[in-house]
Structure 1
Amino acid sequence: MKTMIVADFCTLRNALLQLMAICVVIALFMGYAMGTLIGMAAAIAAMPPFMLLFSLAATDEQNSWERFRLTLPLTRRQVVFGRYASLGLIAIGTIVFALALSFLLLGIISFVPSGILPEGLTPAENPPAALVGSVVGAVGVITLGMAIALPLVFRFGMTRATRFVPVIVVIALAAGIGFFDANISFTSGGFFSNLMLWLDTGNNYLFLAAALVAVVALVYGASALIATKLYEKREF
């Protein structure tokens, strides 16, 4: 599994550096345009994991690297667990990077005189707990998406999997919207109204982030087991 992780990060070395630079540029423009660091932090946190997942999957299919890799002293189980571990480390690294960039920008804007930047770009409007919650939440949602996509990628390969992933995402979104529309009120006193009030009280963003991490970890682990079973049955 360690060999697989090292190989993945060697493959992504240049892409990681380029993506970090892109995220910094996007953060500056998006933060100013949106007038908030919270939305900006969530946006840049959501980018790297899913993008790098498909970069690795595309590399697997180049020059039949995936088939050649199976001739090495690596079992299919090690390949799957190694890939999940690589993307898990990328998700954790993304959280660290997004938070470091967010708090750096928060420190910079605290020295900017009022009236120059949009009203939402103030320390009072971007509390640390909300920044942590937005970053962890964004990475958590993307990790759930990876938990859905990875078994399909291991079973069908990237080219065929990309046909199924959007369909599943659209169906899931449609089902979710239908459920929320029918069962959960967005009006004052409704579920989301109460949720936002609860989140804005104390450090509840952190409690929600911790709960999300626990749920995502369980789903991600279950996805790895499913992907292993599917990959072991795949024929090249």
Structure 2
Amino acid sequence: MKTMIVSDFAALRSALLQLVGICLVVSLFMSYVMGAVGTSAAIGAMIPFMCLFSLAALDEQNGWERFRLTLPITRRQVVFGRYASVAIATVLAFVFSLALSFALLAVMGLLPAAWVPESLAPAENPPAAIVGATAGSVGIVMIAMVVALPLIMRFGMTKAARIVPLVVVIVIAGCVSFFDADYLFANGLVSDLVAWLDTGSNYLVAAGATLAAVAILYIASAFLSAKLYEGREF
């Protein structure tokens, strides 16, 4: 598994630096224009998802995926190594997103008040809210990877690229049907949730619960992918 992690990050080294630079520029621009520090967290959390598809694309180039299976490494090690690589990229993206958000607030605090949108003022962005927004962004991306990784491991990048959007649309449609938006708003459930999150450190509680639930799903997805990859024919 260590071999897979080292191999993945060696392949991603140049692409990862580019992704970080792009996310840095775009997130700073969007945060200022939209007046929302959470934008930095949302864009920074996309780094692991982009890393995943970059690695999947590299696997199919020049027959690397088939050649890798001739090395002294099992298919389960390939799968668990890839999941570990993506998990490490996710942790790094989480830290990067937090650092970017707090750095942005620090810069906004040094500028004249007339230049800074009110929503970007430090008083309007408590640390708990920033951590919660970042964790929520990372959680959403992780859920997407929980769905995408088994499909990539089973069908490869080319076929999975056509299947993943279909699965996402079905999941979204199912969620919309299950959670009636009109009912949620009419009964004040959404406003109650927002009020609860704004109370004390509940943002941190929600963030911790979200990441714990996603971690369980991620581990289950890894074992499913290992089973699918062992039965895949090249």
Deviation for aligned residue 1:41? 2.6
Distance 1:182 1:47, change over 3 A: closer
Structure 2 Cα separation of the partners of residues 14 and 197 of structure 1: 43
Structure 2 Cα separation of the partners of residues 220 and 74 of structure 1: 22
Deviation for aligned residue 1:184? 4.2
Distance 1:88 1:182, change over 3 A: same
Q: Which runs of structure 2 are paired with 1:115-194 in the superposition (5 Å)?
A: 115-181=114-180, 184-187=183-186, 190-194=188-192
Structure 1 Cα separation of the partners of residues 137 and 189 of structure 2: 21
* Structure 2: unaligned runs, 5 residues or longer: none
Residue matched to 2:10: 10
Contact 2:45/2:90 (<8 A) preserved: no
Deviation for aligned residue 1:46? 3.0
Using structure 2 for the length normalisation, give the TM-score. 0.97
Contact 1:42/1:137 (<8 A) preserved: no
Structure 2 Cα separation of the partners of residues 97 and 166 of structure 1: 27
- Cα distance per residue 1:15-50 (max 9 Å; x no partner): 111111111101211011111102x13321332111
SS at match of 2:113: coil
> Stretches of 4+ moved more than 6 A in 1?
none
Deviation for aligned residue 1:147? 0.8
Residue matched to 1:231: 229
Deviation for aligned residue 1:175? 1.1
Structure 2 Cα separation of the partners of residues 186 and 16 of structure 1: 41
Using structure 1 for the length normalisation, give the TM-score. 0.96
Matched, 1:218 2:213: no
- Cα distance per residue 1:141-160 (max 9 Å; x no partner): 11111011101101000000
Query: Between the two proteins, what is the percent identity of the paired residues?
Result: 59
Contact 1:76/1:228 (<8 A) preserved: yes
CA-based RMSD = 1.2
Aligned residue pair count:
234
Contact 1:99/1:131 (<8 A) preserved: yes
Deviation for aligned residue 1:3? 0.3
Residue matched to 1:22: 22
Deviation for aligned residue 1:183? 7.8
- Cα distance per residue 1:112-138 (max 9 Å; x no partner): 221212121101111111111111111
- Cα distance per residue 1:77-130 (max 9 Å; x no partner): 000000000000000000000101111111111122212121211011111111
Matched, 1:74 2:73: yes
* Structure 1: unaligned runs, 5 residues or longer: none
Contact 1:41/1:131 (<8 A) preserved: no
